[in-house]
Structure 1
Amino acid sequence: MLGLWVVVLLLAVPFGGKLSGVTRDEPVDYLPASADSTRVQELTDKLPGGGSTDLLLVHHRDGGLTAADRGVARDQAREVAGAYRHSGGPPRTVPSEDGSTLLTAVSLTGLDEEQRSDAVHDIRDRLDGGGAGGGPAPPEGLSVWVGGPGALQSDMDEIFESVDGTLMLGTAAVVAVLLILTYRSPVLWLVPLTVVGAAALSAMAVVYGLVQALDLTVSTMNTSVMTVLIFGAGTDYALLLVARYREELRRHERPYEAMLTALRGCGPAILASSGTVAAGLLCLLAADLNSSSALGPVGAIGVVCALAAMTTLLPALLVLLGRRVFWPLVPAFGSEPSARRSLFAVMGTSAGRRPVTVLLSGVLLLGGLAVGSAALPGDLRQEDTFTSTPESVTALRAVEKAFPQQSSQPITVLTRTPEAERAQRTADATDGVARVERGRSGGGWTELSVFARDKPESPGELDTIRALRGELDALDGAEAYVGGPSAEQLDLSDTNASDRRVVIPLVLGAVLLVLIALLRSLTAPLVLVVAVVASWGAAMGLGGLVFEPVLGFEGLDPAIPLLSFVFLVALGVDYGIFLMHRMREESLGGKAVPRAALDALRTTGGVIASAGIVLAATFCVLASMPMVLMAELGFVIAVGVLLDTFLVRTYLVTSASMLLRRWIWWPGRLFRDRTG
């Protein structure tokens, strides 16, 4: 087995490192092909000069610009226009009413994705007095920024480039620390960490192959979540297997026999756990949003690779290393574990004394936390997608302050050229439109730039986009599409809402089927699913209390409700599976349900708590990334996992099992074989 994995890794190494080079992170890449904004991007790329890179050159001085400042702004705009191809005539500079800011819009053409980012960096160097132009530095006190959609995307790409390595190292470090604290061994922690690394590398190679073979749209967010999932779930499986292996080493003299028994004992739970997560994630294939649908197979590949590594490579390494890998706490053959009463035995006993009180108190607590979801902020705007403030966002905020009554970001309309004049008149007459400018034409299509009266991504501008689509759709023969950054965000929000209605029922159905097959019961699966849904609601409620008031996030990414639900239901059920599977084992041994529940909690509580802490900690690493989407997703999942580990599974599921007694196994054989 070890030799087989050496071959696998030798094959995976050349491809795993290439995955970051094929990720796509532009907003339009996330959207379905049917979206208006996707169609606009496709048609714009075919116009003369190709897709445009829209930039804003912003010159600002507190207290008002001087004549020298205006001269610098004019010269710099001329320099940028002379260095790059751009659409339209010479760039037009617009002063603000208070005289503090000059705004110059430039639309560069003929640049591919890599050249666009290079152009933004070059222009910033030029405006700062460096770069190829070699112009003088701006006068002291004059602030010069490059903003606009092109600069925003460039800043986003730069952050995404740094995410993969940082996330991998951070997650590995967190897992290493937690494993050392859990095992209290100078050697043992290295084994599961090495195996998790092998699983991650294998998964990256497989995903890279899928991208090349199927042209799958994979974002950096997808690969980041996959990395966290592999480290978190893989370590959980390792903790469960190693704990059971340690138990069996006290009963079996040969490590090989102890490992076989451990795999037979906890293998079904690990298999069901990974199957639940994979099934839940694959339900995302039904999503219309590219970024969500791609996360399904990407995440499932990660889970399957973690499962394969933890049930083949990890056992092989542990058997080869023998008992000495546990040094200094080596489990000797024939020895008994320490008889101290565990924390989870105490918690289980307290739940057993007053199960009704415990259950009602827990339900009220989760319900109270869920109420906080009413305080969740509105949809996240593109400018608020960073946890820091890059130059493009500084520029945009300065423009919004200096030009409060004017939109600096055009809404792009593509229409058939013969109907362009009629489409322009219709757009100009639409409520909320300030002005319309005729753009490029080519291939039978004409581009119109529509400026709304309201600022970008405000409710007023979004209403204007909806009105434009309605008015232009009514024009026979125009075949007009409305796109641009704000339209992309609107399409993202609408598609996410539609996906929630489709995917959430599928996830619940898939998870229930896996649980029914494992537990041979209908009641126990329903209890587990209701419990994890309650955890998700409480975690979202805590997000509402924290995101804006504490963390300062200006909005909620539209993908958070769906993605957090899928992950929390799939991952949260894992711990219920570990508990219920052990409880079923105890019940099959002849114990009544209350005693089986307490013994299952006593034997699995510690390892499941460790697993929950590891999983929550890995998602906390995701929450530390500089993108609001990752931070919000990491927070909700980490909080949900901790709630499920220490409240829902320990108290609510245990107390519910004690109250239901044999009915927890209805209508299976365990229900029929027992009278209490």
Structure 2
Amino acid sequence: MFHRLGHFVVRRAWWVIGAWLIAAVAIIGSAPALTTNTDQAAFLPKHYESIQAADVQQKAFPSDKSPSALLLFERTDGAALDANDQAAMDKVTQGLADKKIPLVEQVLPVSDQTGSYSKDHKYAMALVAIDKSKMQQPEYTDAAKKIREDGKELAAGSNLKFQVGGDAATALDQKESSDKAGILIGLGTVVIILLTLGIIFRSPIVALLPVVSVIIYSLVATGLIGFASDWFGLKADSSMSQILTVVLYGVGTDYFLFLMFRYRERLRAGDNRKEAVANAVGRVGEAITSAAGAVVVAFAVLVLSSLGMFKALGPSLAIAVGVTALASVTLVPAILCLIPQKVLFWPSKAWQREPSNARFAAIGRTVGRRPAGAALVSGLVMVGLAIAALGYQGTFDMAGSAMPKDKESMVVQNTMIKAYSAGAADPAHILLTSQNGNKIDVAGLQGYVNDLGKVDGVAAAALPTPDRGISKDGLTVDVTVVLKDQSTTNKAIDTIGKVRTVAHDEAPAGTKAYVAGTTSVLKDINTAMAHDYSLVFPIAAVLIMIILGLLLRSVVAPWYLMASVGLGFGATLGATTLVFQDFKGESGLMFMLPILIYLFVVAIGTDYNILMIARLREEAREGRSPREAASQAIRHGGPTVAAAGFILAATFGTMLLAGNTMMSEMGFSIAIGIIIAAFVMSMFFTPALTALLGRRAWWPGHGDVKGHGEEPTQLVGTTMPPEPVGRH
């Protein structure tokens, strides 16, 4: 099939290029723009308690102006706030209220009666309510920016330092940080690709080719993702654009290298330009599409996730990789066959002669002679790193991890934790609702509130006041519970579980309790993640194994290939745990990191396994013994895997430029996972095991026997002589 596709592309090259350009213009011109969602609750299904609680809260208190921003005041000299400072703070809060900033509903002043002051009186906070129905609109963060700018102007000339934190300010800082990170990652990725390909091929045109190609088909991919997000209501988080950039350029360059190395090899074997392109597509097209199929399946399985962020991320990346694979066997070959090789490889002439590949030949000989030792050593490296994964701890502070620590909203958050109870800035809410139509006796809830206050990890629990926390019909009341720990910590999540138990079990007769708030949402996300681990992981593994079985016509090979990838996953998580938890001292890794590592390392790591095992099978079909086939596969396939692995790892490594913990953890973990997949798993472990198993690796098929599953390599209408055995 791929030989026929290669023939079609070289004969209709301009048609193929024109079709891609027309598709890019048409799709991007009509596709809806990609939007992101920063509301964690929006990522959960409706059956979780925190979402049900939010619905109850909205219905019972539709006009409740819950704070979206925190105004933090302190003296510039660090002294306690006095009466003059109170007057200055009143000037700021009243001035902000008078400005009638769009979406700002209420500015509550600093007051001793409302607990605005810290215990040492060095800090004071005021609360600002912003219309939360506009949370995902630019106007929401614009309001936070205006509050920040106007508040600083109003505080000028006083002894006060004024800062803005809270949800709206966090969303503003996160957006600005994300935009900056996107630019850095995009530029870093392109520079790495240009430099690396320039060094490998010593040609500026070859270096530019994948970048130009990606620009064309990324427009198609982005447009299709926009349509899919719009049609199916997918909700992406703020990291989507950066991940898409890296995947499109990284995976696109990978597949370009798969094709380019084989194209150059066919030129050296004596093919003319069009023959070389067609034969390159014919020989690696199956490996590219199978590798892409594994990635697409792994990502697409995320539609089964309970979390909206993964439901959006998975299909989006699946679309991106699918488009990349299609372009790699159509658009890229069409461009290649139109460029004379002397122009393509200019100014280098090294493409005309086959290098000795001395390093990879030496590695191949070592693995071929001592496959047991190679498998043991590479396996022990992965097992050793995987043991460190036992120390993994998850953390849920997405806002704090998504931007640098010196951002104003993060400074406010950390100051609030030190100055007040750590959970004071973001308390939990127990929504007690009547089930029998009778109004709730608020005074009679004191015992219930006392029980909540006694829960280990709770700092305080308070009854609602007559003017706040009681619905108009008297059928719902809001009991505020302040936790001792910050709302996003694991301790707070453990505490909220205990709070739920007491809230449900001790609820007065005729009422039902719902626990709302950030910590309650994170508790449900934690539960949803456990569900996803038990569902997504095994389904993705089974589907990838089926793809491997179909590619290799084997039942045996997929098992040890997936086992090696599983070791790679454990080693990746272990290495990341060592670097960020043990060396850097982070309290934990982002909670979604294991599933991202699994998907990227399993899917993309399988790419290199597929490329190497496909080359090994090709060498075996030439009549070589299993050990010699492994040796030759490493010699000829090693440079491709090494180059592709290095570029893809480096492109993911550009996420470290984002300057925030979440992107740094993601970039490092996927980069190290790809390095392990390319340089440990595919270069040593997989070929060594295949050499040890011999022909049993292909059971029950005959994948290593010439003639089984092969297509002729000649172009229709040509009289190409058969390639001599051993010539590559």
Matched with 2:244 is 226
Q: In the TM superposition, what whole-angstrom CA distance separates every residue of 1:8-57 from its partner, at most 9, and x where no partner exists?
A: 121133256x534x222221222223223333444555543477443322
Q: How far apart are 1:89 and its partner, in Å? A: 9.2
Matched with 2:420 is 403
Matched with 1:10 is 25
Q: Are 1:127 and 2:151 counterparts?
A: yes
Contact 2:429–2:515, Cα closer than 8 Å, also in 1: yes
AA paired with 1:28?
A
Q: 1:446 to 1:64 in 2, by over 3 A?
A: same
Q: 1:158 to 1:111 in 2, by over 3 A?
A: farther
Distance 2:67 2:243 in 1: 29
Matched with 2:645 is 612
Q: In the TM superposition, what whole-angstrom CA distance separates every residue of 1:621-652 from its partner, at most 9, and x where no partner exists?
A: 22332443322122111001101211221122
Matched with 1:448 is 478
Contact 1:564–1:636, Cα closer than 8 Å, also in 2: yes
Distance 2:239 2:39 in 1: 12
Q: Are 1:481 and 2:505 counterparts?
A: no
Moved more, 322-331 or 558-567: 322-331
Distance 2:80 2:286 in 1: 72
Q: How far apart are 1:576 and its partner, in Å? A: 0.6
Q: How far apart are 1:366 and its partner, in Å? A: 1.6
AA paired with 1:347?
I
Q: 1:214 to 1:380 in 2, by over 3 A?
A: closer
Specify which of 258, 263, 284 is matched with residue 245 of structure 1.
263
Identity %: 28
Distance 1:298 1:515 in 2: 23
Moved more, 647-656 or 543-552: 543-552
Q: How far apart are 1:269 and its partner, in Å? A: 0.5
Q: How far apart are 1:195 and its partner, in Å? A: 0.9
Specify which of 199, 202, 216 is matched with residue 184 of structure 1.
202
Q: Are 1:493 and 2:506 counterparts?
A: no
Q: Secondary structure at the match of 1:23?
A: coil
Distance 1:602 1:29 in 2: 50
Matched with 2:319 is 301
Matched with 2:62 is 48
Q: Secondary structure at the match of 2:688?
A: helix
Q: 1:44 to 1:122 in 2, by over 3 A?
A: farther
Contact 1:9–1:202, Cα closer than 8 Å, also in 2: yes
Distance 1:147 1:313 in 2: 49
Distance 1:3 1:110 in 2: 46
Moved more, 414-423 or 293-302: 414-423
Specify which of 410, 421, 432 is matched with residue 393 of structure 1.
410
Q: Secondary structure at the match of 2:382?
A: helix
Distance 1:283 1:651 in 2: 29
Q: How far apart are 1:566 and its partner, in Å? A: 1.3
Q: 1:443 to 1:659 in 2, by over 3 A?
A: farther
Q: In the TM superposition, what whole-angstrom CA distance separates every residue of 1:91-118 from its partner, at most 9, and x where no partner exists?
A: 6353222232223334444762233322
Contact 1:663–1:671, Cα closer than 8 Å, also in 2: no
Matched with 1:112 is 134
Q: 1:504 to 1:108 in 2, by over 3 A?
A: same
Specify which of 41, 56, 60 is matched with residue 74 of structure 2.
60
Contact 2:163–2:408, Cα closer than 8 Å, also in 1: yes
Contact 1:171–1:228, Cα closer than 8 Å, also in 2: yes
Specify which of 106, 118, 123 is matched with residue 101 of structure 1.
123
Distance 2:107 2:472 in 1: 13
Specify which of 224, 235, 247 is matched with residue 206 of structure 1.
224
Q: Secondary structure at the match of 1:288?
A: coil
Q: How far apart are 1:355 and its partner, in Å? A: 2.6
Distance 2:335 2:115 in 1: 68
Moved more, 275-284 or 245-254: 245-254
Distance 2:355 2:704 in 1: 32
Q: How far apart are 1:249 and its partner, in Å? A: 2.1
Matched with 1:31 is 44
Moved more, 435-444 or 168-177: 435-444
Q: How far apart are 1:405 and its partner, in Å? A: 7.3
Q: 1:650 to 1:111 in 2, by over 3 A?
A: closer
Q: Where does 1:574-585 land on structure 2 (aligned, <5 Å)?
A: 574-585=607-618
Q: 1:540 to 1:222 in 2, by over 3 A?
A: same
Q: Where does 1:335-346 land on structure 2 (aligned, <5 Å)?
A: 337-346=353-362
Q: How far apart are 1:593 and its partner, in Å? A: 0.7
Q: Are 1:19 and 2:36 counterparts?
A: no
Contact 1:15–1:204, Cα closer than 8 Å, also in 2: no
Q: How far apart are 1:88 and its partner, in Å? A: 8.2
Specify which of 625, 634, 651 is matched with residue 601 of structure 1.
634
Gaps of 5+ in 2: 1-15, 707-728
Contact 1:532–1:572, Cα closer than 8 Å, also in 2: yes
Matched with 1:659 is 692
Q: Where does 1:448-467 land on structure 2 (aligned, <5 Å)?
A: 448=478, 450-457=480-487, 458-467=489-498
AA paired with 1:139?
S
Q: Secondary structure at the match of 1:435?
A: strand
Q: How far apart are 1:182 and its partner, in Å? A: 1.9
Matched with 1:350 is 366
Q: Are 1:469 and 2:496 counterparts?
A: no
Distance 2:591 2:408 in 1: 24
Q: 1:253 to 1:401 in 2, by over 3 A?
A: closer
Q: Secondary structure at the match of 1:569?
A: helix
Moved more, 384-393 or 33-42: 33-42
Distance 1:441 1:308 in 2: 57
Specify which of 628, 631, 636 is matched with residue 669 of structure 2.
636
Q: 1:420 to 1:496 in 2, by over 3 A?
A: farther
Q: How far apart are 1:257 and its partner, in Å? A: 1.9
Specify which of 152, 158, 163 is matched with residue 139 of structure 1.
158
Q: Are 1:509 and 2:523 counterparts?
A: no
Distance 2:528 2:349 in 1: 55
Q: Secondary structure at the match of 2:84?
A: helix
Q: In the TM superposition, what whole-angstrom CA distance separates every residue of 1:318-355 from its partner, at most 9, and x where no partner exists?
A: 111121212233578xx6x3352431111122223333
Contact 1:524–1:664, Cα closer than 8 Å, also in 2: yes
Q: Secondary structure at the match of 2:116?
A: strand
Distance 2:558 2:484 in 1: 50
For the aligned residues, what is the CA RMSD? 2.8
Contact 2:229–2:312, Cα closer than 8 Å, also in 1: no
Matched with 1:435 is 461
Name the TM-score, length of structure 1 as normaliser.
Answer: 0.91
How many equivalent residue pairs?
663
Distance 1:137 1:533 in 2: 58
AA paired with 2:492?
E
AA paired with 1:85?
E
Distance 1:90 1:25 in 2: 28
Specify which of 300, 304, 315 is matched with residue 333 of structure 2.
315
